[in-house]
Amino acid sequence: MRRWAVRTRVLLFMVFLTVLTLVLAGAAAYLLQRVENYRTMDDALARTVTEFIQLGEDGNDPETGEPWSTADRLIQVGMQRTLLAEHESMLALRDGTVRWTPNEQQPVRLEEDPEFVDWVLDQEPITEHRIHTVQTAASTYRAVVVPVMMAEDDSPTLFVLAVDVESGMAALNRTFLTYTAVGLGAVAVTGFLGWLMVGRLLEPIRRLRQTVRSITETDISRRIDVHSRDDLGELTVTVNEMLDRLETAVTSQRRLLDDVGHELRTPITIVRGHLELVDPEDPSEVIATRDLAVDELDRMSRLVEDLVTLAKSDQIDFLTPAATDVDLLTDQVFEKAVQLGDRTWLRDVRAQAVLPLDAQRITQAWLQLAHNAVKFSAPGAEISLGSALRGDALHLWVRDAGAGISPEDQQTIFLRFARGTNSSRAEGSGLGLTIVDTIARLHGGQVHVESAAGQGSTFTIVLPLQELEALEQAGQTTAIIPGGER
């Protein structure tokens, strides 16, 4: 069973929080207002009782000017002088009989609620003027009973003041019914706007899902557009970076497989063909076949090593730059280069500088250029190495007096498995200059070649100082540019 979508869950949570907030706020306000209404009702009852008692104790009958003689007269005048609210009412009882009621326009009629009348009669004897809550089938009241007995009375008269609570709370209830309706409308609007907003916020996730679904084994080039700089925008950038790394890895794997299939097929075919045709009874033919097989296996070994080097260049730890004394490095490379062949080795100028380089990789590239110079020059020919700071870049070069390179070959020698017209298949893997170019570019530089057929060649690794400083700050780099060997 499929779970609800994130958009739906987020929206339901938003609506739940909105409803919870409205309910808690409304309930708190409603309860506080009810308490305030009760307090107002009780204050009104207490004030009316106080005024009535003062009228009985200090006042006189307005018709005779004499003190009150009967309770009926006092209650009659007291009722006439009391201004009742819509939800208030009065009642006078004596000997179980209703004696006085308010005018007919007063909506609350206590005398018409027999349960309330019975409650009043059950209050005798009354020793204090307490406000009580009275619940009947008709309504709920806040009421106080005042016994009144004058000189000419044979029995006390019960003067009752009451407030119909439900009637008094009617306005409050109507207000909160309106609040409820408005709240429901607010929840609906919040839900609609939340649906749109959550959909907009989750749009990068939707595009991410679509992009991932569209990626196939043959096409992993699609990327997600970044439209914001928030957390989802950062997630989109991170996913795009992951796809970049994935594409690089897959491309490198495909290229490695293509390279292996392309280059290893030929030596395997050669060895197999000679082994199938060799005459085991002819010692010279066996030796020749063995030498050929060993030579092809050596070439395959070099090819595999070069392919592994290029494959590793995609890794972030391929370079380990460190402060390097270029003067000392030049001497070290020169001492290693003179072992490559019987040539006249010359050491040109040396750069006096300490720069952030991967000395091992630079040595590998530099010696590869020296190896090429040996391979394409005659014994005793001059080969010179040097380094110098020129402008804002470090130059590392190898100069030979060999066969040279035609302009046409100079356009292709840095491609994988490319060979110049002066090169034969057996002389190398075709990846030497690929590795040199890759190492140079990973340092932020490039390889220049100056050559003409029959006039020798000069290969120069040019490393901009600004790129080397950036390499030092980054501590690592990831890049690879296809190349080859002349």
Q: For residue 236, give the CATH number of its domain.
A: 1.10.287
pLDDT band (50, 70, 90) for residue 320: confident
Q: Which tokens belong to 453? A: 């057929």
Do residues 110 and 159 touch, judged by C-beta distance below 8 A? Answer: no
**What SS3 state is found at 296?**
helix
Note whether 112 and 259 are same-domain residues: no
pLDDT at 207 over 50: yes
pLDDT tens per residue, range 112-125: 999 999 998 888 77
- Which segment of 64-73, 159-168, 408-417 scores lowest on mean pLDDT? 408-417
Q: What pLDDT is attached to residue 68?
A: 85
Whether 191 is in a domain gets the answer no
* b/e code 186-198 from CB counts within 10 Å (16+ = b): ebeebbeebbeeb
Q: What pLDDT is attached to residue 419?
A: 54
Per the prediction, the chain carries an average pLDDT of 82
Strands (E), 309-407: 322-325, 344-347, 354-357, 382-390, 393-400
Note whether 17 and 142 are same-domain residues: yes
CA-based diameter of the chain, in Å? 163
Q: Average pLDDT, stretch 393-397?
A: 95
Note whether 251 and 361 are same-domain residues: no
Q: What pLDDT is attached to residue 163?
A: 92
Boundary (domain end) residue, out of 130, 155, 172 = 172
- Phi and psi (nearest 5°) for 350? -125, 140
Whether 102 is in a domain gets the answer yes
Note whether 165 and 252 are same-domain residues: no
Q: Average pLDDT, stretch 343-372?
A: 91
Query: Nearest CA to 376 among 347, 336, 341?
Result: 341
d(CA 244, CA 222): 10
Q: What pLDDT is attached to residue 269?
A: 75
Whether 352 is in a domain gets the answer yes
**Domains identified in the chain, total number:** 3
Note whether 101 and 238 are same-domain residues: no
Q: Is 163 exposed, middle or buried (0-12, 13-18, 19+ CB in 10 A)?
A: buried
d(CA 216, CA 202): 24
* b/e code 403-427 from CB counts within 10 Å (16+ = b): bbbbeebbeebbbbbbbbebbeeee
d(CA 446, CA 467): 11
Whether 378 is in a domain gets the answer yes
- Which segment of 41-55, 129-143, 222-236 scores lowest on mean pLDDT? 222-236
Q: What pLDDT is attached to residue 474?
A: 67
Note whether 287 and 418 are same-domain residues: no
Note whether 330 and 301 are same-domain residues: no
The verdict on pTM exceeding 0.75 is: no
pLDDT band (50, 70, 90) for residue 1: very low
**The 393-400 sheet, strands edge to edge:** 344-347, 382-390, 393-400, 457-464, 446-451
Boundary (domain end) residue, out of 277, 310, 343 = 310
Q: Which tokens belong to 152? A: 């000419």
Whether 212 is in a domain gets the answer no
Note whether 290 and 399 are same-domain residues: no
Boundary (domain end) residue, out of 291, 310, 329 = 310
CATH of the domain at 43: 3.30.450
Whether 144 is in a domain gets the answer yes
Q: What pLDDT is attached to residue 477?
A: 39
Whether 281 is in a domain gets the answer yes
pLDDT at 3 over 80: no
Note whether 65 and 121 are same-domain residues: yes
pLDDT at 252 over 70: no
CATH of the domain at 409: 3.30.565.10
Note whether 292 and 253 are same-domain residues: yes
Do residues 421 and 350 touch, judged by C-beta distance below 8 A? Answer: no
Do residues 133 and 141 touch, judged by C-beta distance below 8 A? Answer: yes
d(CA 448, CA 413): 11
**What SS3 state is found at 155?**
coil
Q: Which tokens belong to 100? A: 């006085």
Domain with 24 in it: 6-172
- Which segment of 85-89, 302-306, 396-400, 436-440 scores lowest on mean pLDDT? 302-306
Note whether 445 and 324 are same-domain residues: yes
In the chain, the N- to C-terminal Cα span, in Å, equals 63
pLDDT at 422 over 80: no
Note whether 268 and 338 are same-domain residues: no
Give the DSSP H or E segment for 471. helix 465-474
Query: Nearest CA to 212 among 186, 194, 235?
Result: 235
* pLDDT higher at 357 or 204: 357
Q: What pLDDT is attached to residue 180?
A: 92
Whether 79 is in a domain gets the answer yes
